[in-house]
Amino acid sequence: MHDSVDAPSPPQKSSRRRFLKHTLAVAAASAGAGLLPRNADAAEALSQRYPDPLIEILDDSFMAYRIFNAGVERLASGLHWPEGPVWSGDGRYLLFSDVPNNRIMRWDEISDSLGVYRYNSNFSNGLTRDLQGRLIVCEGSTTGSEGRRVTRTEPDGSTTVLAERFDGKRFNSPNDVVVKRDGSIWFTDPPFQTGNNYEGHKITPELPDAVYRIDGKTLEVTRVIENFSGPNGLCFSPDEKTIYVVEGRAKPNRLVWAYAVNPDGTLGDRRKHIEGLDYGALDGLKCDEDGNLWCGWGSTGAREAKPEQLDGVRVFNPQGKAIGHIHLPERCPNLCFGGAAGNRLFMTSSHSLYALYVNTRDATFGQRR
């Protein structure tokens, strides 16, 4: 996104300063190895202090994951409910859905720029990459006759439909997705995008809320979790013997359940792993290499809620204890790890994209980037 160019006007001090900064950046890039100039005004630090006061230590163990001289930055804004971020290490860019605007956005790390990757994305939500690096998309609603399905983008740009029906009925609004090391694709199917004409189209859901598995070889679709109210974010533990799933409409508070994963792709016993705080809205989540869960967090919108205390990312250790909180000025629906070293946390929020360098990486780092 770039500022529009207006007719010349008398320069103000702030515009002259911005012009000089931009000129110096261009000159430095031109004198170097031909890299694209970095937009000096793109990344905005929310605090000028180190350690960043927005990074709250809830347990001393979280100190190991905080980098002293790294703070929360706003990378872009002007969005409408960005979701489902996924990092592309080979291209050094981040993709994420801008759901109500029916598009997938691309933020480039080298040029520090934001642009549209795909328009008419069928109101895409969750994104991930498979073992071959192909983009997997949860299409949350329909554009014309297509949508409410899970697709794969092939290297030539064509689209392969992986799943769009179960028992002959079309999915509700596929929400979040993760790929296991055996190539199987797991996704949640709540009714979230079926209730309005903002994030898609208002329809009557055909299937109960559920979680599904797509076999990596045969593409056979099986229902692995049912009797579940509003399945939302999901991720695997580092050894993939446990899958964590958010129950987004559990009462009185949202929950994260931990299910044992059997070798044949079925699920075993479950246990309650995390219960959301009063009026706290758990959403997407990712597991780091030490087994901690980094959870998108925010206010439910209840009158009693205190957004300034809830909005951001809450971190839980493998035992389900809250150890840290990254405070943001907006609710955070989803996040992912990325960056050149895999240690940059990208956080999609109500209207903006944020980032923070942390001292850990995704549980799958080194297996697929």
Whether 151 and 236 share a structural domain? yes
Are the C-beta atoms of residues 149 and 142 closer than 8 Å to each other? Answer: no
Q: Both tokens of residue 115?
A: 């642009």
Residue 174 contacts residue 140 (beta carbons within 8 Å)? yes
pLDDT above 70 coverage of the chain, percent: 88
What single-letter amino acid sits at 112? D
Local structure of 291: helix, strand or coil: coil
Residue 216 pLDDT level (bands cut at 50, 70, 90): very high
3-state secondary structure of 100: helix
pLDDT band (50, 70, 90) for residue 366: low
Which residue, 275, 306, 330, sits at the end of a domain? Answer: 275
| Whether residue 128 is found in the same domain as residue 250 | yes
Instruction: Report yes or no on 282 lying in a domain.
Output: no
Token digits of residue 196 = 């309005």
State the Cα–Cα distance between residues 277 and 252, nearest whole angstrom. Answer: 10
pLDDT at 280: 80
The whole-number pLDDT of residue 37 equals 39
Report the range of poorest mean pLDDT among 22-36, 109-123, 172-186: 22-36
Per the structure, the complete domain to which residue 191 belongs is given by: 122-275
- The structure tokens listed for 47 are 């605090």
Judge contact between 344 and 337, C-beta under 8 A.
Answer: yes
Q: Is the separation of the CB atoms in 38 and 26 below 8 Å?
A: no
Predicted local confidence at residue 42, as pLDDT:
65
Angstrom distance (rounded) from CA 217 to CA 198: 36
- Cα 250 to Cα 103, 254, 282, 315, 325: the distances in Å are 30, 5, 11, 20, 22
Last residue of some domain: 275, 303, 331?
275
Look at residues 250, 275, 300 and tell me which one is the last residue of a structural domain: 275
User: Is 332 found in the same domain as 267?
Assistant: no
Helix (H) or strand (E) holding 353: strand 353-357
Same domain, 312 and 339: yes
Instruction: Quote the tokens at residue 328.
Output: 């943001």
CATH number of 101's domain: 2.120.10.30
Question: Mean pLDDT lowest for which of 26-35, 53-62, 112-121, 205-214?
Answer: 26-35
Task: Give 276's pLDDT tier (boundaries 50, 70, 90).
Answer: confident
12: tokens are: 């103000």
Least confident piece of the model among 79-83, 201-205, 298-302, 343-347: 298-302
Could you give the number of structural domains in the chain? 2
Question: What is the number of residues in the chain?
Answer: 369
pLDDT at res. 20: 39
* Per-residue confidence (pLDDT) for residue 38, from 0 to 100: 41
pLDDT higher than 90, residue 368: no
- Residue 281 or residue 259, greater confidence: 259
Bridge partners, residue 186, by sequence: 178, 213
* C-alpha–C-alpha distance, residues 145 and 316, integer Å: 41
In this structure, the answer to whether residues 132 and 259 fall within a common structural domain is yes
User: Same domain for 140 and 269?
Assistant: yes
In a domain, 58, yes or no: yes
Reduced to 3 states (helix: H, G, I; strand: E, B; else coil), residue 136 is strand
92 and 177 assigned to the same domain: no
Asked if residue 203 and residue 110 are part of one domain, the reply reads: no
| Within-domain flag for 8 | no
Same domain for 88 and 140? no
Q: How many C-beta neighbours within 10 Å does residue 14 have? A: 8
Q: Are residues 236 and 158 in the same domain?
A: yes
Cα distance between the two ends of the chain: 26
- Look-up of token digits 């489902």: 84
Do 237 and 157 fall into the same domain?
yes
Is residue 262 domain-resident? yes
Number of Cα atoms under 13 Å in the Cβ half of residue 44: 9
Answer whether residue 30 is part of any domain: no
So what's the pLDDT on residue 367? 63
| Cα angle for residues 112, 100, 198 (degrees, 5° grid) | 165
Which of these ranges, 48-52, 299-303, 318-322, has the smallest mean pLDDT?
A: 299-303
3-state helix, strand, coil in the chain (%, to 5): 10, 40, 50
Report the side by side order of strands in the sheet with 44-45.
44-45, 73-76, 353-357, 344-348, 334-338
Token duo for residue 169: 């009925």
- Shared domain for 174 and 270, answered yes or no, is yes
In a domain, 131, yes or no: yes
Asked if residue 251 belongs to a domain, the reply is yes
Q: Would you say residue 23 lies in a domain?
A: no
Q: How far is CA 332 from the centre of its chain?
A: 9
Is pLDDT above 80 for 35?
A: no
**pLDDT for 14 beyond 80:** no
